[in-house]
Structure 1
Amino acid sequence: MGGGSARAGALMTVTAMVSVQLGMAVAVKLIDHIGSDGTAWLRLAWAGLILLLWVRPRPSAFTAKTFGMCVVLGVVSAAVSLFFMASLDRLPLGTATALEFLGPLTVAAAHGRGLARVLWPGLAALGVILLSQPFSGGVDLKGVMLALAAGAAWALYILLTQNVGDQVAGVTGLAVSMPIAGLVSTFTVSSTVFERMTWQVVLIGLGMAILLPVVPFVLELLALRRLTTAAFGTLMCLEPALAFVVGFTLLDQELGVSAIIGIFVVVIAGVGAARSGGRQADMHIEVG
């Protein structure tokens, strides 16, 4: 693998993560107007429509079993977005992202060997304590629980994606699961959301869906052709730190020293898990 190709892959991966966090910054702004449930629904609805029109999956590509798995994957994808958007209503972007990141980190650590199965989850747990400060009451505990629920759903998403990816070619499975996620999230939206919906909000939602998942997904696919699994997984572990930077610069969200240290402890744990785990490339970033 050439150095130029690897550098291009690394740049694509970082750009994809920045796109994700910019999309999340847009989401934080939208939450003030249409709530976390409305924001999750708008993103999933647009993303599902874009992927459905782009890929146009054929029924012949599925069996009854694989289609059912895609439906389940869509339900789980909706859970990831709904829980995470709700956590953003209570927590800074960097804190919520680091807590959610524990889901894929756990999956990576579970594929590790020997000491890695204990070391990296233990280090991540230390990071969570620094982030949530459970004994000081400094962080919204409900927000922490919502972010951790999003992480648990993300871990399940990864396992399901690996299974679907082994049986359904390309992105066909995602082109079914994402519209299902949009449909599922519709049932969680309060009626007041639609009363507050304007064309401006709808178009902002379209931009959010392009930032997350369309642009990151394309860049991720291109990057995976240029990077090893370990390199890709390690780069993705920088996402909580990028979330802190975006939250600080664009949303005026400041964190205490303890929380900042906690984010970087989670990043280090993620890097370690990525180096020791397997199939880390399946830790898709576009579900966010």
Structure 2
Amino acid sequence: MTSGEHARHGRGAAVTLVVAGLTCQEVGASIAVILFPTTGAIGMVALRLVFSALVLVLLTRPRLRGHAAGSWATVIAFGVVLALMNALFYLSLERIPLGAAVTIEVLGPLVLSVFAGRRAASWLWAILAAIGVALLGQGSFGHLDPLGVALAAATGATWAGYILLSARTGRRFPGLDGLAIALAIGAIAILPFGIATSGAVLVRPEVLALGAAVALLSSTIPYALELVALRRLPSSTFAVLMSLAPAIATIAGLLLLGQTFTWVAVLAVGLVVAASIGAVRTARRAGGDAPAPPTASP
């Protein structure tokens, strides 16, 4: 195998890892939806963040001393936004299908890419995405609960904030220390609400086991797969692949949750995916960052 063939093979394997990571995320979200009648949305968020934090803290053993006050302010904000982002996303999943929720929330990173692009062409992608989201409301996933739509949109806003805070935290903390600390802060922030809404059901063995599975599928495994993929893929290519999340979520909702949709939904999701890819590429050509959805995304 020549060096060029080896490189192409490596890129192909990396693409497979990214798609596998996205699939794991949506399978994890589907399991969470199935558990909602038992744990409630906030209880499920608490379980996911607690287990995710435990795994990453044990793996990284982050250093807590020697950080400036500004660094702590950043990582605390990061953790709180992380908890809020996941809470809003799971609350939206109680009311609207998985595919619709992910399609709407992707608008947050997409808008961030539009501003990073700093070109008039970037706004064309925003208009295309708006058309796609408007089509979602035309019965493509059935009736979409207005509150669920609002919660998904709020998730997108916090997701954009999460991306920015993730970058700042990465500059202030070495390796994965910042993410581990932020996850722990997010878990501590959401746990009292999870206990208040779900009570003793959270410590039932079967619920703990499924909560751990959701954490592994939604956070730990995707993070590991994407970390390996990023060693072989340019960040811009990675961002484009992450734009496939709405399509994968729609398929997962159909196969795992029985959430049906019409061809209008296929068109709507396709428009948002195309707009997200276009915005990422425009931002890259403009010389700005092309922010991709972070691994700890909802």
- State the TM-score bracket (shorter-chain normalisation): over 0.9
- Work out which of the residue numbers 207, 214, 223 in structure 2 matches 1:208: 214
Length, aligned pairs only: 287
Q: How far off is 1:256 after superposition?
A: 2.5
Within-5 A mapping of 1:260-275: 260-275=266-281
Quick check: 1:37–1:189 contact (8 Å CA) kept in 2? yes
Query: What TM-score do the two structures reach when normalised by structure 2?
Result: 0.92
User: Within the alignment, does 1:20 sit opposite 2:25 as a pair?
Assistant: yes
CA distance in 2, matches of 1:117, 1:276: 6
Q: How far off is 1:282 after superposition?
A: 4.8
User: Within the alignment, does 1:283 sit opposite 2:293 as a pair?
Assistant: yes
Residue equivalent to 2:39: 34
Within-5 A mapping of 1:1-288: 2-60=7-65, 62-133=67-138, 138-189=143-194, 191-197=196-202, 198-277=204-283, 278-280=288-290, 282-288=292-298
Question: Which ranges of 4 or more aligned residues in structure 1 deviate by more than 3 Å?
Answer: none
Quick check: 1:93–1:247 contact (8 Å CA) kept in 2? yes
CA distance in 1, matches of 2:163, 2:265: 27
Quick check: 1:13–1:219 contact (8 Å CA) kept in 2? yes
After superposition, the C-alpha distances for 1:164-207 in whole angstroms (9 at most, x for unaligned) are: 11222211100100011111112323535123231100110001
CA distance in 2, matches of 1:187, 1:150: 21
| Residues 1:251 and 1:68: Cα distance change in structure 2 (over 3 Å) | same
Quick check: 2:30–2:253 contact (8 Å CA) kept in 1? yes
| Residues 1:12 and 1:196: Cα distance change in structure 2 (over 3 Å) | same
Secondary structure, aligned partner of 1:196: helix
CA distance in 1, matches of 2:121, 2:229: 26
| Residues 1:159 and 1:22: Cα distance change in structure 2 (over 3 Å) | same
Moved more, 26-35 or 83-92: 26-35
Quick check: 1:17–1:285 contact (8 Å CA) kept in 2? no
CA distance in 1, matches of 2:290, 2:220: 20
CA distance in 1, matches of 2:107, 2:267: 15
Gapped regions of structure 2 (runs ≥ 5): none
Moved more, 188-197 or 15-24: 188-197
Quick check: 1:229–1:279 contact (8 Å CA) kept in 2? no
Q: How far off is 1:61 after superposition?
A: 5.7
CA distance in 2, matches of 1:61, 1:52: 18
Secondary structure, aligned partner of 1:188: helix
Q: Structure 1: which amino acid aligns with 2:271?
A: V
Gapped regions of structure 1 (runs ≥ 5): none
CA distance in 1, matches of 2:189, 2:45: 11
Moved more, 108-117 or 188-197: 188-197
Quick check: 2:116–2:290 contact (8 Å CA) kept in 1? no
Q: Structure 2: which amino acid aligns with 1:142?
A: L
Quick check: 2:42–2:197 contact (8 Å CA) kept in 1? no
| Residues 1:202 and 1:119: Cα distance change in structure 2 (over 3 Å) | same
Query: What TM-score do the two structures reach when normalised by structure 1?
Result: 0.95
Q: Structure 1: which amino acid aligns with 2:36?
A: I
CA distance in 1, matches of 2:64, 2:50: 21
Identity among equivalent positions (%) equals: 36
Q: How far off is 1:117 after superposition?
A: 2.6
Quick check: 1:161–1:282 contact (8 Å CA) kept in 2? no
